Structure 1
Amino acid sequence: MTSNSTKGRNVLRWLPGVLISVAAIYFLSKYITVQDLLNAVKSLTIVDIAVIVLLNVLSFIARSMGWKNLLEGISFKQAFLVINEGYLFNNLIPRSGEIVRMLLVGGLSKISAFQAASSILVERSLDVIVAAALFLSTLPLVVEMNWIKPIAWVLFCLFLTMIVVLMLLARHADKVKQRLADSKIDSVFLKDKVFPKIGSVLDGLATLNDPLKFARSVFWILMSWVCWISLLYFGITRISSGTVPLWQAIFTQGVLALGIAVPSAPASFGVYEGTMVAALAVFGYAESASLSIALVLHFTQIVVTSIFGIYGLMVQGQSISALLDRIRSRRGQTSG
């Protein structure tokens, strides 16, 4: 009975995202023919694919450096492999990458899963701030998408506030932990289970007390965004017959980042492509050409992260099935 109810909850959790992806794929198919898509894909050369792969790898290197500076105690190699393992599992189960990173870091070092979680929270908050800033800075040039402006402003302000709050918590971490230790609460569960985890989360924010290290982390995270913008700009130039302003890629990357935050099927399939097609349509690009480059960029990212992710699992002696079981177990505990 419990197994059936757990399966039911899993289906309900996945269903909205799957429906959104199906709807995106349906609308794309209404406007784009298979032949147009094939013609657009065939226009890409081996050199084009090589550049796309290289920019993907560089973005993951920069992302790994950023996370390494946020989380003390892991090497660059560990950060690089764990990040790619996280992307690999996002391709299998939506929003599971962060859980996988928490689980793997705990097995590779003395860092607790909750310390890793706080560093991931800071990283993701910075991502949302950057995405919203990219969108808002280029929005005056694109009046057609003003409807999303309030959403971008809310996200920008919300996550900027979150970063400030996390920095304040990091600064006063010792006081917070001392107050928890001196608390007169009688609950054994809170004292033995919850408070130590809160302490681990606060420990994971220690980097925020080091301005230089935090600045290095922000720099590398920004470099990963530079790689993504360069990747998108290169892709747009492949489907354009004229000069492409850089701000078009900046705007499209901001919209794309906000769009794939929407719940979707594994790997954001359909939503990623639909969001990019919609953003590029603002500039008059043909839907078939936009979809072709979106598919190439998305597929390349999936392949690259899968290769490094599977390699990482092999090196660390992990298996996909075992980690999937641990993800389900953790989600089941959270639901309970």
Structure 2
Amino acid sequence: PRTSRWWIGLAISLAALALATWGVQPTRLLATVTEARLEYLPLALLLQVVGIAARARAWQAFLGAVTFRRAFAALNEGYLLNNLLPVRLGELARAYLVRKGTTLGTAQALGSVLIERLSDVTIALAALTFALPRLAAPPWAQDIATGVGVALAAAIAGLLVLVLSRRIGPAVLARLPGIAGRGLPRLARGLTDGLYVAGSPRRLLPGLAWLLSGWVVAWLQFEVYLRLFGASGNPTVWLFSLSVIAFGGAVPSSPGAVGVYELAGSAALRALGYSPEFSLSVAAGSHLVQIATTAVLGGWFLSRESQSISDLARAARELARKPAETAIP
């Protein structure tokens, strides 16, 4: 099954890359890349690090029991693993890593990751909802945004019910026979406790503020990418493009969202009237900066902590199988 996931992800990525390069003229693409204004590149790299730092601060706020350095290190290590492993195992790995030197439980760490990801999707959807009417988007695009919004609202409502009635879920699961009845209640209790703690106003509000600041940095960074390749945009362009990239990058594919990221980014910019060559250059360039930055930072923290990628991959898979039992060695 693990091998089949790799092949399926690779097939999706190759198909996405084929679509992203559809209609692109190689000579024009080469000219766009070679004429890039490289003086903007250091600013793009700086904003990438600042954005990651803001996200780490948001995660620290949701967790409450870790230092900023621990959150920043685990976040970059998780991003690195997401670029190397399928099915976003890096999200599980960072929940595993962030507990080092703390009394934080595994399920509580997973609950904080879930809160962060839901908050991320909410901000992306809000940005898309804000941008679409200003772009004279077709009715079908607004219908899709509405449908996603309804589904997201239902998911958040379900989590709220689960968190506010923390005893119900574990009590129901405890009635299951065999090992499920022994392990699942503990997992459900830990997850709901983690969601309850991360979702308390004193942690949720600062976390959301820091997460939103990370998005603001990313929106500004997108303008830097536009200027890097010789054009410019406006806030509507930034909000729309990054929201499309956020949702497109969530599609299962090869590690690092290779292909689907480029397709989402170039499709968004093409829809706004930019040329195919420019659109692909911006999408691929921004993705390359993102991957390179997290590779350097994540690799540095892994080496400092004497961790290997294979060990973390094994721990992440174990965490996926037995989240209530995985322990830090």
Does the alignment reach a TM-score above 0.5?
Answer: yes
Q: Does 1:272 align with 2:264?
A: no
Compute the displacement of 1:280 (Å).
0.7
Q: Does 1:204 align with 2:184?
A: no
Per mean C-alpha deviation after superposition, the further-off stretch among 220-229 and 243-252 is 243-252
Q: Is the 8 A contact 1:119 1:204 kept in 2?
A: yes
Q: Distance in 2 between matches of 1:218 and 1:139?
A: 23
Instruction: Look up the match of 2:171.
Output: 180
Q: Is the 8 A contact 2:112 2:195 kept in 1?
A: yes
Q: Is the 8 A contact 1:167 1:209 kept in 2?
A: no
Instruction: Look up the match of 1:59.
Output: 51
Amino acid at match of 2:171: L
Instruction: Look up the match of 2:326.
Output: none
Amino acid at match of 1:291: L
> Pairwise CA RMSD of aligned residues?
2.5
Compute the displacement of 1:219 (Å).
0.5
Q: Does 1:234 align with 2:224?
A: yes
Q: Distance in 1 between matches of 2:102 and 2:38?
A: 40
Q: Is the 8 A contact 1:134 1:250 kept in 2?
A: yes
Q: Does 1:84 align with 2:76?
A: yes
Deviations 1:273-315 (A, max 9, x none): 1111111112221111121122221111101111111122122
Instruction: Look up the match of 1:5.
Output: none
Instruction: Look up the match of 1:151.
Output: 144
Q: Distance in 2 between matches of 1:128 and 1:226?
A: 15
Compute the displacement of 1:212 (Å).
2.8
Q: Distance in 2 between matches of 1:146 and 1:23?
A: 27
Compute the displacement of 1:97 (Å).
1.5
Per mean C-alpha deviation after superposition, the further-off stretch among 256-265 and 191-200 is 191-200
Compute the displacement of 1:34 (Å).
3.4
Q: Distance in 1 between matches of 2:319 and 2:71?
A: 22
Compute the displacement of 1:13 (Å).
2.2
TM-score by length of 2: 0.88
Matches within 5 A, 1:72-151: 72-94=64-86, 95-144=88-137, 146-151=139-144
1:143/1:318 Cα in 2 relative to 1: closer, same or farther (>3 Å)? same
Instruction: Look up the match of 1:247.
Output: 236
Amino acid at match of 2:304: V
**Identity, % of aligned positions:** 30
Compute the displacement of 1:330 (Å).
4.8
Amino acid at match of 1:205: L
Q: Is the 8 A contact 1:233 1:249 kept in 2?
A: yes
Amino acid at match of 1:304: T
Q: Distance in 1 between matches of 2:240 and 2:21?
A: 25
Q: Distance in 2 between matches of 1:283 and 1:85?
A: 35
SS at 1:196's partner residue? helix
Q: Is the 8 A contact 2:115 2:199 kept in 1?
A: no
Q: Distance in 2 between matches of 1:227 and 1:123?
A: 17
Compute the displacement of 1:151 (Å).
3.1
Deviations 1:259-284 (A, max 9, x none): 11111111111111111111111222
Amino acid at match of 1:90: N
Q: Is the 8 A contact 2:58 2:211 kept in 1?
A: yes
Q: Is the 8 A contact 1:132 1:153 kept in 2?
A: no
SS at 1:50's partner residue? helix
Compute the displacement of 1:190 (Å).
4.4
Q: Is the 8 A contact 2:36 2:229 kept in 1?
A: no
Deviations 1:215-259 (A, max 9, x none): 101111111111111111222233455x62221111111111111
Compute the displacement of 1:83 (Å).
0.8
Runs of 4+ in 1 over 6 A off after TM superposition: none
Q: Is the 8 A contact 1:68 1:76 kept in 2?
A: yes
List gaps (5 residues or longer) in structure 1. Answer: 1-8
Instruction: Look up the match of 2:313.
Output: 324
Instruction: Look up the match of 1:4.
Output: none
Compute the displacement of 1:184 (Å).
7.9
Amino acid at match of 1:309: G
Matches within 5 A, 1:259-298: 259-298=248-287
TM-score by length of 1: 0.86
